[in-house]
Amino acid sequence: QVQLVESGGGLVQAGDSLRLSCAASGRTFGTYTMGWFRQAPGKERAFVAGIHWSGSSTYYSDSVKGRFTISRDNAKNTVYLQMDSLKPEDTANYYCAARRGSAIAGQLGEYDYWGQGTRITVSS
């Protein structure tokens, strides 16, 4: 079992930066591939970024590529999402997720564990 707790959300202005954290329980965090998803009001949850369990590879959705950076610290059981140049369309609930497989996956069903989410609102 892995429990995930996101933090770092809030209200920011367009162009600002924010860093989300996702703290995981359990001693096997370093074996899980991690992902960040987001769900805007009235929309489906969508993939944002993913990182291999080793941290050696990452993958981003086109909408955040070049602005967001995913990273992890396996010694701290934490995965991060650094978000720069935020836009109003980035407003959403952000969720971290963990999967046992080594490949970075973009589909919700590929992930085994989910956090409760943290809200980000970007004002124009």
Question: What pLDDT does residue 101 have?
Answer: 80
Hey, is 95 helix, strand or coil? Answer: strand
DSSP helix, strand, coil percent of the chain (3-state; round to 5): 5, 50, 45
Hey, is 29 helix, strand or coil? Answer: helix
Nearest to 54 by CA among 83, 29, 81, 20: 29
Question: What pLDDT does residue 48 have?
Answer: 98
Question: What pLDDT does residue 102 have?
Answer: 84
How confident is the model over 33-62, as pLDDT tens digits? 999 999 999 999 999 999 999 999 999 999
Low-confidence residues of the chain, pLDDT below 50?
none
